[in-house]
Homo-oligomer: A and B are copies of this chain.
């Protein structure tokens, strides 16, 4: 059989209550007693029964981090940073206490899975939940998520949004850290415009996501401000946030409008695919066509030529979200913070041929 608290208590010749208190360190216990208990724990190789403990204490040390695609470094970086802050193991804190089990859950971008994970975390009475990445804009789903989050919140779970716009109906959450996707998108296109580009293709992400929409809106804002209107639909192709989609969409774009001098991709991964397509068509980057991405993932600087993109402080944002989830940092005023995006001009963009 597995060892229980009672076994430890017996061996240390104290009551179970005392063992519990030693383990939790939240009640005065004489040093000598503590010593004895700790030795017994060691001798017996005792491991606390998590479920029992959570049940009795009505709390749990689970913290969930939801991501859309765990194979995408965009999410990996945020999740890793958050997990580090949440501490899980080895958070430096001497011993017990902040020891949380930070786990990441991969929704694969599916609204249903997102909801199911939230329910599962609710079941487990998670201490906190961090949702990363853009939300799906289906009203029904948004309502469902909001409701779920509200329920989680008033069951005591701390909810933090990271890289995700605030909930429409406000404050069911501890904090929302939103990236300035629109501003970044605008500045990126302004950069292209200032180089002299006029026919700019846009490879957008999946239609119904906030991230997609905001980046695209920023782009169009800039185009409109430059007086370039009318071609929006023709020069935009939607697709998933992956390399393949960037490749295909760019080919399509080039077919629709052979005169494009620049392609803006919804993110760096897509930009990689776009670059491949451009090259496969026998065109040079940036001499014939400029290519730009978004996110500034680590590999972007190593692309050839280095990718012009918009840097999002993913690590910092993830870490901050982690801290907020742990209550180690005070939320921004109003619970909402917008995180700036920084334009990174590199070799993949240049003035168009004359």
Contact = CB atoms under 8 A, between A and B. Distances in A.
Contact of A73 (B53, B55, B73, B80): B73
Contacts of A204: none
A80 B55 contact: no
Contacts of A123: 47-50, 53
A105 interface: yes
Interface in A102-155: 102-108, 110, 112-113, 115-117, 119-125, 151, 155
A43 interface: no
B106 A105 contact: no
Interface in A73-116: 73, 76-77, 79-80, 83-84, 88-90, 99, 101-108, 110, 112-113, 115-116
A301 to B, nearest CB: 8
A31 interface: no
Range of interface residues on A (Cβ < 8 Å): 35 or more
A76 B80 contact: no
Contacts of A249: none
Contact of A117 (B50, B55, B88, B116): B88
Nearest to A152: B47
14 contacts: A50-B125, A51-B54, A51-B60, A51-B125, A69-B80, A70-B83, A72-B76, A84-B106, A84-B108, A88-B106, A88-B120, A99-B116, A272-B299, A279-B304
Interface of A: 2, 45, 47-55, 60-62, 64, 69-73, 76-77, 79-80, 83-84, 88-90, 99, 101-108, 110, 112-113, 115-117, 119-125, 151, 155, 243, 269, 272-273, 275-276, 279, 298-299, 301-304
